[in-house]
Structure 1
Amino acid sequence: MFNPYAQGGWPNTENPNASPPRGTIPQPSIFGALPYPTPVSSPTPASSPFITFRFTSLSPTILDSVVLGPQSRTHFHIITDAPMVGFTIICDSANQPTIIIEWVEHPIIEIRGILSKRRTSNWLVLSADNSYRTMTASGRTFAWGADGDYTCLYCAGLGAPQIYARVFRQNEDLVLEMTPEAVQIGLLEICVAAALLLESGRNID
């Protein structure tokens, strides 16, 4: 039987930490994740300081889609319930499993070489007031929060919070924009996984 965690020699170790945060909000909110954004129709300006990645070819949702980067280069393929029901597998451009999400009662995620297997609720931790989610990556603490039509990734510093990425709907696609610094410090897979979870329409707690 196909074992997505064993594919590519992944260790099958689980690391649940604290109990998942509570909070349930019905659709179209993402079970306490973030408000569902309004589609943005205008394209990103050419002078934008962001690098753009696009979840496209939705069939019919981002749980079965393709992630394109600059010059329309394919970075990831996302498939769900194939070859194994109950899993979303995100493969890189070499068709190697990079991110695996298991849709159990409390979903589980693993990112190859980056994040060991754990509950999504222990990775994207919902705030007490259900207004944002925190996560740790690359040795820093980040927060996903809504800002108008965008869902933004911030890193708190000594001054004003610094934005590293943002997610929004544009026509039929989901757009992920990242700063060059965010890509350079290895947040691409992290942001792809987080964007998919936050926009999946499924319970991630």
Structure 2
Amino acid sequence: MLTKGGMNMREGRIMRLPPKERILDAAEDLFFNLGIRRVTVEDVATKAETTKAAVYRHFGSKENLIAEWIRIVTAQYAAILDNLEKTYPGDPRAQLYGWAKHIADTLATTSHRGCPFINSIAELPDPNDPVRLLIEAHKKRQAQRVAMLCEGAGIPDPEAAAVEISFMLEGAQISTQNNSIPNAGKHVMRIISEILDRAERGKKKGPLKVLAKQAG
């Protein structure tokens, strides 16, 4: 969408940001669409309409800029689960369903680039790279949080269920990225519904029925 002057509205908004935020916005766009290694500090400075010196003044190095971008993205993902907790307090089942639905809904608008974490970690061969460690820590926290929700929802073997959900959601993102499975979002919602149904089946096989079966 264009303004009267012909400037893209997003560009107009970005140019009103303070220099540091403008650099971060430019880095986010470039790192996500082109990759963290291909993009140079000069590329970021040019897109942000500033100088390389300004980028280094605010962030010190390209690695620090990448790390700050990853922190922002991880915070965005954590905020989604936080918002679901506020929307469905005390209802881990609804929170899990909402988490899967968020991923499923965003698949339709996912670009060919896919998941920023998967793409970035593929460009970081050093297992001790600070940025890679940031991503790994985020993924572990997220998996633990999903496992707690699975336990709260009464799903049998919650840790295994959390692994299954993580595999399913990340696999859906990759499949959408490489265009190998059509309608991945529908499959995501079918699978999460089946996982959540295990809790209901577990309730039906309560201790009284189990004892009755053993007595018979």
Higher relative contact order (CA 8 A, sep 6+): 1
Alignment TM-score, normalising by the size of structure 1: 0.22
Higher strand fraction: Structure 1 or Structure 2? 1
Higher helix fraction: Structure 1 or Structure 2? 2
Whose Rg is larger? 2
Alignment TM-score, normalising by the size of structure 2: 0.22
